[in-house]
Amino acid sequence: MDSFVLVIFGITGNLAQIKLIPALYDMEEKELLPSTISILGISRQEKTPEQLKLYLWETLNSENPNHPHKIEKAVFERLCGKFHFLSGDILKPDFYPILENHLATLKSTGKNIDNRIFYLATYPDLYETIFNNLKNSRLSSQDNGWTRLIIEKPFGQNLSSAKNLNSLLHKYFGEDQIYRLDHYLGKETLQNILAFRFGNELFEPLINKDYIDHIQITTSEEFGIGKRGGYYDSVGALKDVGQNHLLQMLAFATMDAPSEFSNPAVTKERVKILTSLIPDPEKLVLGQYSGYKNEPKVSPDSKTNTFFAFKTQINNPRFQGVPIYIRGGKKLRLNVAEICVVFKVPLNRLFSHLGSGNDPNVLIYRIQPNEGIVLKVLTKKPGHETELNENFMEFCYRHIKGNHNLLDPHERLLYDAIRGEQTFFNDAEEVEAEWAFVDKLSSQNPEPITYEPGQWGPKEADDLILMDGRVWIEPSTGFCRI
């Protein structure tokens, strides 16, 4: 792996504290960071080397559900040896010569600063100023090495703003330099869908309209918006997670096999699904949990959705006529994210006269928690009589020795970016296809319906699927347990 300098704009921000710094620690623990790497954190706050070290220590030892394991002192010391800090106003042009001089100083000590990754843990409205200053100071040039840019969602607020953002990015960087990070694409089970489907020949012949009755996707959270009111109230659940996470889950579960395992080939198939989705504004339900308007920084007359459910279809020969039901939101019954592929029940099934005899087989990709891939099947209950039970055939990460702690998505994706691997990042066409669908789906902008916390959203979401003679699948806690 090439040595490089990682320049983090916004090192003292929430994103860096919750995601990026823990990911860097985990990579150092696994000895994945080159010994000559330099990590340069930038912030308006001034910090001495001692204050930087204390900040990193407190960040890594804070209560972070995404990073619960113990911090080893020796690993921490090695990581601190790679860290540097520079204070300044990143919006002012006169800061960038200071940055350039700092990098030159690192180079004089034997560090490789010709290869550069700029990680923007900042607000998107700062991008243009930062890009322009990097270009004018030639810090983003690739004269002596490579330069890469990492940004995180949101990638726009609608199709128009997404196109504007992509135009801005392409003004300063090539598409092969841009790494649009959606952490869901770094989740182990989501990536494993490709291996499960295309590394085996058992199920893939069944993933089509002849065998599938319908598909359900659920991402739900028990908690509310917390301290994110200022951001969340301007976005809502559909745009915050529906436009990206859930559409990506659908793409992975339904895309055709790529011609090869490469970024262009895999992304091409994801885009085909996203551009084939049929938006139906009449089949969209939006909700808002009771008490949302009392959350900090939320407007008292807010009409922001904290829940969504919609029905769609894929307009291609493989899935023609297969309904897809998608829902997600906050203050719901469980913390869960899963894809359920529900198979058809043949009319001549042998045991259809028995209890549960007409229950469908369901292929479940559980993204979180209890991560794994399971198949719900019917089996004979032990005994003299012929009775059927529902059971699960399981592949579970928790049952694999040494795999109790899966890689954090930010660690995985940061490592990919360092290697120049873009397969599990979004490209411009993909982002625009997602927004094109969501813009059309939400064109009528229905009023959110109030629902009580701890439920599965408003009753209208149940009606959405009931009118087709189906019901939402209750996410099970009965599989992938230790």
- Residues acting as catalytic residues: 245
Does residue 159 contact residue 429 with C-beta atoms inside 8 Å?
no
DSSP letters along 399-438, please? Answer: GSTT-SSPPPHHHHHHHHHHHT--TTSB-HHHHHHHHHHH
Q: Which residues contact 258 (CB under 8 A, 6 or more apart)?
A: 198, 265, 266, 268, 269
Residue 379, judged by CB atoms within 10 A of its CB (0-12, 13-18, 19+), counts as exposed
Alpha-carbon distances of 441 from 155, 159, 370, rounded to whole Å: 18, 12, 32
- Strands ordered across the beta sheet of 147-152: 83-87, 38-43, 5-9, 116-120, 147-152, 178-181
Residue 228 CB contacts under 8 Å (≥ 6 apart), including other chains: none
CB 457 within 8 A of CB 327: yes
3-class secondary-structure state, position 184: helix
Q: What is the 3-state secondary structure (H, E, C) of 32-60?
A: CCCCCCEEEEEECCCCCHHHHHHHHHHHH
Tokens of 76: 């921490």
